[in-house]
Structure 1
Amino acid sequence: MTPRSHLYARTAGVLYLVTHVTSVTAVAAYGSDALAVGVALELILAAGCLGTGILLWLLLRPFGPARAATFAGLRALEAAVIAAGTLPMLALLQLTAAGPTAEALWALHTAAFLVGQGLVISVNTVILGWLLLDAGVVPRGLAVLGIAGGALVGMSNTAQLFGLIPQGGTIAAICAVPVFAFEVWLAIHLIAVGLRPRRGQLLKRNSTTSPSRMT
Structure 2
Amino acid sequence: MTPRSRTYARTAGILYLVTHVTSVTAVAAYASNALVVGVALELILALGCVGTGILLWLLLRPFGPARAATFAGLRALEAAVIAAGTLPMLALVHLTAPGPNTEALLALHSAAFLVGQGLVISVNTVILGWLLLDAGVVPRFLAVLGIAGGVLVGLSNTAQLFSLIPQGGTIAAICALPVFAFEVWLAVHLIAVGLRPRRDQLLKRNSTTSPSCMT
The two structures have a TM-score, normalised by structure 2, of 0.96
Alignment of 1:119-158 (within 5 A): 119-158=119-158
CA distance in 1, matches of 2:123, 2:213: 37
Q: Which runs of 5+ in 1 are unaligned?
A: none
Instruction: State the 1:213 CA deviation.
Output: 7.7
CA distance in 2, matches of 1:212, 1:114: 52
Match of 2:31 in 1: 31
CA distance in 2, matches of 1:212, 1:185: 38
Instruction: State the 1:177 CA deviation.
Output: 0.4
CA distance in 2, matches of 1:122, 1:164: 18
Paired letter, 2:166 = P
CA distance in 1, matches of 2:15, 2:209: 34
CA distance in 2, matches of 1:209, 1:62: 18
Instruction: State the 1:18 CA deviation.
Output: 0.2
Query: What is the alpha-carbon root mean square deviation over aligned residues?
Result: 1.5
CA distance in 2, matches of 1:214, 1:34: 68
Instruction: State the 1:208 CA deviation.
Output: 4.6
Match of 2:195 in 1: 195
Alignment of 1:43-82 (within 5 A): 43-82=43-82
Instruction: State the 1:180 CA deviation.
Output: 0.3
Instruction: State the 1:204 CA deviation.
Output: 2.5
**Between 117-126 and 88-97, the greater mean CA deviation after superposition:** 88-97
- Percent identity between the two aligned chains: 89
Structure 1 runs, 4 residues or longer, greater than 4 Å off: 206-215
CA distance in 2, matches of 1:40, 1:209: 51
Q: Which runs of 5+ in 2 are unaligned?
A: none
The two structures have a TM-score, normalised by structure 1, of 0.96
SS at 1:95 equivalent: coil
- CA distance 1:209–1:72, change in 2 (3 Å): farther
- 1:3 to 2:10 alignment: no
Match of 1:105 in 2: 105
Residue by residue, what CA displacement relative to the aligned partner does 1:95-124 show, whole Å, maximum 9, x if unpaired? Answer: 011121011000000000000000000000
